[in-house]
């Protein structure tokens, strides 16, 4: 494939950053939901929509509510929220794997084509943010009442069907479910899945929009498709998934976000007249389980755990910093975790997705090193929870400076700040609105 020219997306000097962010979200709005990127991601993605709703909460309460309501309109009967809801007005071959790949055996609502896997559960937190910032409080309270039971069902699915390790944490069953698709933490498991000579079964549309040097390799994609096919062909059932399924992992980012969102559900429950104590207890229990299962004492950082082998995966990444968000994490673990932001692996204006000293670090290849707005934003929120305002502000300013210099990119070279991935990316715009506020 021919080399793609570098995208030029720098914002003009003096640009009103908030206005520019609103323009990106307006351009990517499709009437009931926002696409992450008009060219590369032409459908609705789960955690993207949660981040978009958080940004929209500052500027358009109605659109923020509709964003999440549309996503949860495709919730499965078992409670899971699929990672993609396919737009019926978009050609089926515009993205791979598309609706035809995921459809067999998928127990979804009528006329809603979705994928069969999930993404990190930021949604309860996004729902609370909408209420917290609402101008129309009555409409926002009604929105909480309508969202409460679907959110409970979503969390119940994760904490029951996905507690595959039996220790109170939710397991992910595909690298895509982490939201950090090709992170080096998954390399060992993905390599074991890869059949010799496996190839991607269709042309990769992503390489028409983004240079191959900034995307996962073909071998990774072949493993992703193989793993998704296995899960699809067993009807997306989580029953008896071990030991035959090739990827079952307890991820610190996923579970920290779940604990944080359980905390948000407690606040929502108090508003709608439900039992908030139950959610508070679950949030605290998740934080304790996170520490017991995923805190690596040698690294002083949270790391994933491979449930199949029952051992931690000692790869230091940004996901290991996100548990700063979670309630129930002991103070000493939080102090050691925060200290990584001053060391050679993570210090700097931009927060990489992988420790810079790792031999696998690549500052421009997708989740193998670049800085992303959403993981930076999650860590900022975690630092603020621990009143570490100086570190939080440094990360906030670093990200905003990169956006001013390079535009609303999918991600940024963590060393130089150069924009990478696709352009006019929705969650970058949405989270800039929140950081500016």
pLDDT at 41: 87
Q: How does DSSP classify residue 425?
A: -
Provide the total of helices (H) and of strands (E) in the chain, helices listed first: 14, 10
This model's pTM is above 0.85: yes
- Name the one residue in this structure whose structure tokens are 């994490």: 329
For 152-196, what is each residue's pLDDT tens digit? 999 999 999 999 999 999 999 999 999 999 999 999 988 877 655
pLDDT at 24: 98
Average pLDDT over residues 315-338: 97
Please tell me the distance from the alpha carbon of residue 334 to that of residue 321, in angstroms, as a whole number: 9
CATH number of the domain where residue 178 is located? 1.50.10.10
More confident of the two residues 8 and 192: 192
Average pLDDT over residues 396-419: 97
Question: If pLDDT is split at 50, 70 and 90, which confidence band does 221 have?
Answer: confident
Instruction: Look at residue 1 and tell me whether its pLDDT is greater than 50.
Output: no
SS3 call for 271: helix
Instruction: Look at residue 2 and tell me whether its pLDDT is greater than 50.
Output: no
Tokens at residue 36, please?
């992450």
Name the least confident of 38-42, 44-48, 234-238: 38-42
pLDDT at 37: 94
Is residue 190 within 8 Å of residue 218, measured between CB atoms?
no
Is 318 contained in some domain?
yes
Please tell me the distance from the alpha carbon of residue 254 to that of residue 322, in angstroms, as a whole number: 9
More confident of the two residues 280 and 223: 280
Is 418 contained in some domain?
no
Q: Which residues are catalytic?
A: 181, 410
Q: How many domains does the chain have?
A: 1
Is 7 contained in some domain?
no
Average pLDDT over residues 74-94: 92
Instruction: Look at residue 9 and tell me whether its pLDDT is greater than 80.
Output: no
Is 5 contained in some domain?
no
- Name the one residue in this structure whose structure tokens are 């992303």: 372
Is 118 contained in some domain?
yes
pLDDT at 4: 44
Number of Cα atoms under 13 Å in the Cβ half of residue 94: 16
- Name the one residue in this structure whose structure tokens are 């958080």: 54
- Name the one residue in this structure whose structure tokens are 């991820």: 251
For 239-278, what is each residue's pLDDT tens digit? 999 888 889 999 999 999 999 999 999 999 999 999 999 9
Q: How far is CA 252 from CA 2, 127, 345, 418, in A?
A: 38, 22, 18, 28
Computed over every residue of the chain, the mean pLDDT equals 92
Helix, strand, coil percentages, rounded to 5, for the chain: 50, 5, 45
Max mean pLDDT range (361-365, 398-402, 420-424): 398-402
Instruction: Look at residue 72 and tell me whether its pLDDT is greater than 50.
Output: yes
Question: If pLDDT is split at 50, 70 and 90, which confidence band does 149 have?
Answer: very high
Is 393 contained in some domain?
no
Is 9 contained in some domain?
no
Is 226 contained in some domain?
yes
Query: Could you list the residue range(s) of the whole structural domain that residue 181 is in?
Result: 17-34+41-337
Average pLDDT over residues 340-355: 97
Instruction: Look at residue 411 and tell me whether its pLDDT is greater than 80.
Output: yes
């Amino acid at each position: 494939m021919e080399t793609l020219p570098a995208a030029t997306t720098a914002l003009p000097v003096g640009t009103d950053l908030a206005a520019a962010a609103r323009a990106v979200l307006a351009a990517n709005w499709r009437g009931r939901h926002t696409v992450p990127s008009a060219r590369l991601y032409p459908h609705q993605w789960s955690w993207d929509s949660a981040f978009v709703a958080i940004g929209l909460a500052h500027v358009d309460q109605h659109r923020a509510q509709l964003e999440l309501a549309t996503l949860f309109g495709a919730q499965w009967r078992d409670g899971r929220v699929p990672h993609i809801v396919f737009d019926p007005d978009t050609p089926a071959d515009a993205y791979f794997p598309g609706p035809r790949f995921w459809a067999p055996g998928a127990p979804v609502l009528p006329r809603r084509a979705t994928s069969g896997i999930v993404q990190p559960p930021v949604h309860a937190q996004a729902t609370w943010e909408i209420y917290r910032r609402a101008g129309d409080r009555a409409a926002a309270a009604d929105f909480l009442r309508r969202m409460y039971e679907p959110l409970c069902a979503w969390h119940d699915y994760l904490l029951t069907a996905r507690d595959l390790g039996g220790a109170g944490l939710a397991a992910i069953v595909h690298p895509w479910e982490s939201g950090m698709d090709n992170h080096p933490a998954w390399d060992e498991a993905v390599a074991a899945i890869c059949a010799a000579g496996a190839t991607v079964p269709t042309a990769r549309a992503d390489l028409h929009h983004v240079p191959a040097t900034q995307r996962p390799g073909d071998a990774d994609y072949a493993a992703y498709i193989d793993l998704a096919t296995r899960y699809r062909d067993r009807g997306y059932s989580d029953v008896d998934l071990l030991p035959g399924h090739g990827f079952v992992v307890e991820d610190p980012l996923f579970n920290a976000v779940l604990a944080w969102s359980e905390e948000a559900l407690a606040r929502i429950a108090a508003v709608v007249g439900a039992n908030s104590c139950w959610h508070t207890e679950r949030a605290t229990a998740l934080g304790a389980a996170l520490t017991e299962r995923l805190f690596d004492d040698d690294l002083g950082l949270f790391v994933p755990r491979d449930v199949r082998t029952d051992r931690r995966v000692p790869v230091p990444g940004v996901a290991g910093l996100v548990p700063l968000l979670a309630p129930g994490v002991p103070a000493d673990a939080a102090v050691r975790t925060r200290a990584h932001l001053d060391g050679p692996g993570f210090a700097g204006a931009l927060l990489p997705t992988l420790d810079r000293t790792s031999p696998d670090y690549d500052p421009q290849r997708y989740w193998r090193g670049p800085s992303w707005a959403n993981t930076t934003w999650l860590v900022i929120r975690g630092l603020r929870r621990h009143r570490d305002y100086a570190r939080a502000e440094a990360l906030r300013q670093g990200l905003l400076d990169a956006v001013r210099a390079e535009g609303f990119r999918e991600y940024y070279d963590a060393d130089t700040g150069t924009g990478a991935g696709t352009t006019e990316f929705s969650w970058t715009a949405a989270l800039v609105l929140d950081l500016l506020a």
